A and B are shown apart, each in its own frame.
Chain A
């Protein structure tokens, strides 16, 4: 007899959550539809465009490919959590973590370098770069390109984004 739902226990943007959810529900739907965290964007929904990228245990992952049960006990950080908005930042050692109530340094660098146009892919790109900066303080261009290899941007041609990534590592305050 089937009566109970799966009780997911994990953290989202630093806050512990426990909620009944279908175990095979996509993390993307859990975030957007159940938690109103709409900064995580649906795109290709097949793990190719990177618009839905979130940090899971500090590493960029595609929310469209992850199922709820796969998030059990893990830390999920969305763009809303990364940029402050009154919530705690993901764990990590990069100096970016100290800007609790401001946009993440990657976000400020993207604004400074014109690394966006329509903006739809931008949350995913910021997450991918934040994940890179969690692991590498001063990444090379090659490392930046590899980190962005799962993110599609049809507007910018990527150069502005790569400049922003370089700026974030070379400027203590990347604000324009």
Chain B
């Protein structure tokens, strides 16, 4: 199949990487179909660059830049009959843009806290929400999971919406889809976001925790508790059992045990699986206990 679209085509010397800059989602998707595994979508490119530099992957012959596709750069408020704000955030929106946008980082505090905890300001000016999620280990994922975010993708003239949790449960092998954005709703109440690591910055977190809840001060209970965890090398997950335990007013020990049970067993050179479970359970049980006791 020969490409006949209107993309801007930046060509380097023979044997070097070529960069396509399509104007539409359809064009980008067709280019990826044409070049297959010889091409990679790129937006900010910060995560890809670290992989190329470390040798984890190779700079492909073709890059398909998403930087000229307007809908992928936009943060839109969706029409909704509900009071809560519903948003669609384009996959190529930078983390800095989300951080400073009144409808994103402003109206959805858990997202705002998560975004401002990713890397340094200079990286956030270039890195995008799409890249963070497509890495399948980005620190935004726990926050998006807690917010029940939906991933919007494009393939063959069709847009498809899929819960992020469901997408994460897959193997990520569907290369025929282009992720174009994320939809999420504002969640009322309180929230917090923690990254636990060997030091404050410059290293991947050992465990990342996102939590949102509403406190019923008269009944001394927590409602609509949402807890999700992720971290280097660990598939991000929601901790549904721990959420139920916290909402039922179970003891701190029960919440602690439910968190430990829900954390995937993943170890690396810096943190054992037991340490990850213990650190997450300590933080989550303590924070929820504090919230419940007002």
Whether B45 lies near A65 (C-beta < 8 A) is: yes
Q: Which residue numbers of B lie inside 8 Å of A, CB to CB?
A: 10-14, 16-19, 21, 44-46, 49-50, 53-54, 59, 63, 65, 67, 119-123, 125-126, 201-202
8 Å CB contact of B11 from A2, A26, A59, A70: A2
8 Å CB contact of A62 from B13, B67, B122: B122
A1-33 vs B: 1/0 string, CB under 8 Å?
011111000000000000001111110000000
Q: Please, which residues of chain A bring their CB within 8 A of the CB of B19?
A: 6, 23-24, 67, 69
8 Å CB contact of A149 from B18, B21, B49, B201: B201
In the bound complex, how far is the Cα of B202 from the Cα of A50, in angstroms? Answer: 10
Contacts A47-B119, A64-B49; A4 near B11 (Cβ below 8 A): yes
Minimum distance in angstroms from B182 CB to a CB of chain A: 23
Contacts A45-B53, A46-B50; A5 near B13 (Cβ below 8 A): yes
Q: Please, which residues of chain A bring their CB within 8 A of the CB of B123?
A: 47, 62, 65, 150
Minimum distance in angstroms from A52 CB to a CB of chain B: 10
A6-B12, A24-B59, A65-B49 given; 17 more Cβ-contact pairs under 8 Å: A2-B14, A23-B12, A23-B18, A24-B17, A45-B53, A46-B54, A47-B49, A49-B202, A53-B122, A61-B125, A62-B126, A64-B49, A64-B53, A65-B46, A67-B45, A128-B122, A149-B121
Contacts A5-B11, A47-B119, A149-B121; A66 near B126 (Cβ below 8 A): yes
Q: Please, which residues of chain A bring their CB within 8 A of the CB of B53?
A: 45-46, 64
Is A48 an interface position by the 8 A CB rule? yes
Q: Please, which residues of chain A bring their CB within 8 A of the CB of B120?
A: 47-48, 50, 149-151
Minimum distance in angstroms from A171 CB to a CB of chain B: 25
Whether B18 lies near A60 (C-beta < 8 A) is: no
Nearest chain-B residue to A57 (Cβ)? B125
At the interface, is chain A mostly helix, strand, loop or mixed? loop
Is A173 an interface position by the 8 A CB rule? no
Q: List 8 A-B contacts (CB under 8 A).
A: A22-B16, A48-B120, A59-B125, A62-B46, A65-B44, A65-B126, A67-B19, A150-B119
Inter-chain CB contacts under 8 Å: number: 96
Whether A22 lies near B122 (C-beta < 8 A) is: no
Q: Please, which residues of chain B bring their CB within 8 A of the CB of A45?
A: 53
Q: Which residue numbers of A lie inside 8 Å of B, CB to CB?
A: 2-6, 21-26, 45-50, 53, 59-62, 64-67, 69-70, 128, 146-147, 149-152
Q: Please, which residues of chain B bring their CB within 8 A of the CB of A62?
A: 46, 122-123, 126
Nearest chain-B residue to A48 (Cβ)? B202
Contacts A22-B17, A48-B202, A65-B46; A150 near B122 (Cβ below 8 A): yes
Whether B202 lies near A24 (C-beta < 8 A) is: no
Minimum distance in angstroms from B160 CB to a CB of chain A: 29
Whether B122 lies near A60 (C-beta < 8 A) is: yes
In the bound complex, how far is the Cα of B120 from the Cα of A23, in angstroms? Answer: 25
Minimum distance in angstroms from B106 CB to a CB of chain A: 18
Whether B45 lies near A22 (C-beta < 8 A) is: no
**Among the interface residues A26, A47, A128, which one has the most CB atoms of the partner chain B within 10 A?**
A47
